[in-house]
Amino acid sequence: MSENISVPVLFVPDLVVLPGMVVPVPLDDAAQAAVDAARPSTSLGDRGNTSLGESDGKILIAPRLDDRYPTHGVIASIVQVGRMQGQEQYVAVVRGEQRAHIGAGTTGPGAALWVQVEVVDDTPITDTTRELAAEYRKVVLAMLQRREAWQVIDAVNRLTDPAALADTSGYTSWLTNAQKRQLLETGDVDERLRLLIDWTGEHLAETEVSEKIASDVREGMEKTQKEFLLRQQLNAIRKELGEDEPDGADDYRGRVEAADLPEKVREAALREVGKLERGTDQSPEAGWIRTWLDTVLDLPWDVTTDDSTDLAGAREILDADHHGLDDVKDRIVEYLAVRTRRAERGMSVVGGRGSGAVMVLAGPPGVGKTSLGESVARALGRKFVRVALGGVRDEAEIRGHRRTYVGALPGRIVRAIGEAGSMNPVVLLDEIDKVGSDYRGDPAAALLEVLDPAQNHTFRDHYLDLDLDLSDVVFLATANVVENIPSALLDRMELVSIDGYTEDDKVAIARDYLVPRQMDRAALTAAEATITDAALREIAAKYTREPGVRQFERLLAKALRKVAVRETEKPGEEIVVDVDDLVDYLGRPRFTPETAERTEVPGVATGLAVTGMGGDVLFIEALSVFGQRGDEGDGGGALTLKLTGQLGDVMKESAQIALSYVQAHAADFGIDPAALRGEVHIHFPAGAVPKDGPSAGVTMVTALVSMLTGRRVRSDVGMTGEVTLNGRVLPIGGVKQKLMAAQRNGLKTVFVPQRNEPDLDEVPAEVLDALDVKPMLDVAEIVALALEPASEAAAAA
């Protein structure tokens, strides 16, 4: 139960006394008056050492901090009054006993300030209190152990009263006076313990982090000092032995003078060596200069490889590594022939403008573009290095970083020359069509100088800041989609199109290259497993529809893995994989002819398209949605057009042109005027795939006429070409890829623009033998030949 008493009060600045604490309080006049009032028997003038009992005098010690007037204090007993050893000022040693809430002022004897106070009793001790006390004990002991305060640890361990344990926090140095005052004002023992657990835990965590940082710094300094000492000792030893410091400026000067460098490169290198000699090793610039000099000295300025002069041998290497691709092989042989003749006649070969070659191999995935680069290097007798450009968005990746940047490096072209170890390697720029651009610049623009035969003899990398002669480098670039290459960059390269393989090519490639490779990977021999040519042809025709052979090889690997399992189960048995066995090894065929099924109804025509994956067929469907809508209120009965299939602007315009042409020539096609009402819906299936380009005009005209006349399109017919409002068929691109796709899909007749007839010279003979290719000039002729006769349409109806 709380009691009210009247006691003299002593305000102490920047000191908080908690119950149980014994502290000295300096005695000024106000403090002496309070002590004298608490102990009347002690005269104000008697300042001799006086020993007092605990009950001899009570005084209220209240903290006076800067932020506010105190509301609580601690009732304390005066233990002793006197001088501290070595000090002139008198002090009173007091012991805190009970918390008290300060009330109103009152009067009392002496000159001291007296106040009414209410004694604040601690809350009762519960099980929760004991648990909190145990937790706080762990935290405070951990802190004391870090400080190696073993005597204090013993004292804390002897305390059993939770309230007394909490009040020992008044001695701690990691709590602020404001926090200690909050503890003084908190009568709930549980609340005090919770506050102490939080505050002490936070300080413990901060202490651990600070000690970890200090330890790391100390270890780093010790390591640095150790390295410095060892380097000084090493320098002294080298000096005694008469050896120079290997990383010193004198050594770099000797290396530059001994290296076979071009004159301007030597001058630039010696200028940098001079800067290194005038500076200090502690300067950051010294490290940058050393790195730059190492990069320059590591480049093979005077190293070139001799090209092969055996044209027949070069052709044999190219033929042995790759089937077909005659255009690329012919270009490489031509390059060798020219260089050989120039060398025989004593004409400059190295260092002249345009003596290298820059080609871009464009075609769908899986046709061997990337692997061809290494074959070209072997055929030429040169070093080979590959530079992957897919996803590169930083111009500095090509031209390098300025030396002022931290971590600056030369660009990929310079690094490729260094990796190759010669100034005339074959450099393969892989996936050049997938170079991007962002706020860091456009790498494609940086490649303009690299790939220009008239300029690349003075290519300047930002990091080196020296002219680098790339004119004798053979650059081969690969791309899937030529349209994604900037026109200015494409203009600087020779375009070699690789349009994919025919079915016969795929069988030959599989037999000569893919099967042996996969047999070796599956640890099989020719005596253990065989895949027949008929099975290879079946895979090419019905299990894959790709221009390359990548998926083809995956299927071969799958089949041979299953063969390996059977060989393990039944060793010694020769397994022959034939057509009838493919279902067991590969499952059912994924591709079957669908043209006949898709064109069973009028309004569906088979077009031909080129995608990033090569040529493919494209079905175009036309449907009259409201063919019998009323004669009145329909805008005069004109057809309206609805398009679906994720079409681009060019293809949408082609559809409008096709519809206008069909409406204008409806009578010529025998279209019933009643059908020219309502809405026509033209759909391009595979709606998730974006489509655009000027090559589907004739197909849309044919589909519209088929729908409006009710005559089906012949199932074995495909077509490609753009159409004008007058019905003229305009030329398109990708004829070779489209005709190869038509053959793969089982078509027999293909209509192409007449002006594309010269492109047929590039189409493989076996494709032309399998197809009846008809060059056409008028779309009306295509419609007449593509649609079934009217008599058959009537019979079918």
- Return the active site residues: 695, 738
Distance CA 751, CA 701 (A): 13
How far are the Cα atoms of 24, 162, 189, 302, 574 from residue 131, in angstroms, in the given order? 33, 9, 12, 81, 79
Kindly give, in sequence order, each residue whose CB lies less than 8 Å from that of residue 714, ignoring residues fewer than 6 positions away.
599, 749, 786, 787, 788
Q: Give the Cα separation of 660 and 663 in Å (integer).
A: 5
**3-state SS, residue 388:** strand
CA–CA distance, 73 with 96 (Å, rounded to integer): 9
Helix (H, G, I), strand (E, B) or coil at 563: helix
Q: Which of 470, 483, 328, 361 is nearest to 412 (CA)?
A: 470
Q: How far is it, in rounded angstroms, from Cα 676 to Cα 773? A: 33
* Phi (first) and psi of residue 477, to 5 degrees: -110, 150
Does 369 belong to an annotated binding site?
A: yes
Q: Is 680 annotated as a binding residue?
A: no
Residue 351 is assigned to a ligand binding site: no
DSSP code per residue over 47-75 = -S-EE--TTS-EEEEEEE-SSS---EEEE
Q: At what angle do helices 263-278 and 249-258 cross, to 10 degrees?
A: 170
- Rounded CA-CA distance 623/644 in Å is 12
What is the distance between the terminal CA atoms of the chain, rounded to a whole angstrom?
A: 110
Report the C-alpha gap between 744 and 617 in whole angstroms.
Answer: 9
- Closest to 643 measured CA to CA, from 632, 660, 656, 634: 656
Distance CA 140, CA 144 (A): 6
Give the DSSP letter of residue 539: I
Burial label, 318 (beta-carbon count in 10 A; 0-12, 13-18, 19+): buried
Is the CB of residue 97 less than 8 Å from the CB of residue 19? yes
Order of strands across the sheet that contains 357-362:
384-388, 426-430, 474-479, 357-362, 494-497
Cα–Cα dist 663/635, whole Å: 15
Q: Which amino acid is at 773?
A: V
The answer for 444, left when phi > 0, alpha when psi is -120 to 50, beta otherwise, is: alpha
Cβ(560)–Cβ(553) below 8 Å: no
Q: Do the annotations mark residue 110 as ligand-binding? A: no
**What are phi and psi for residue 588, nearest 5 degrees?**
-75, 155
Contact between 63 and 23 under an 8 Å Cβ cutoff? The reply is: no
Please indicate if the annotation marks 367 as binding a ligand.
Answer: yes
- Rounded to 5 degrees, φ, ψ at 463 are -75, -50
Q: Inter-axis angle of helices 369-380 and 326-344, to 10 degrees?
A: 20
Q: How many CB atoms lie within 10 A of CB 156?
A: 16
Nearest to 589 by CA among 537, 657, 648, 666: 537
Q: Is 370 annotated as a binding residue?
A: yes
- Per the annotation, does 392 bind a ligand? no
User: Residues near 355 by Cβ (< 8 Å), separated by ≥ 6?
Assistant: 339, 348, 349, 471, 472
- For 95, 263, 357, the CA distances from 22, given in Å and listed in that order, are 4, 86, 94
Q: Tell the residue number behind the tokens 């119950």, with chain if given.
A: 19
**Is 364 within any annotated ligand binding site?**
yes
**How far is Cα 392 from Cα 373, in angstroms, rounded to an integer?**
20
194: Cβ contacts below 8 Å, ≥ 6 apart: 132
The one-character DSSP state at 123 is P
User: Phi and psi dihedrals of 10, rounded to 5?
Assistant: -120, 115
Residue numbers in the known binding site for ATP are 363-370
Q: What residues are designated binding site?
A: 363-370
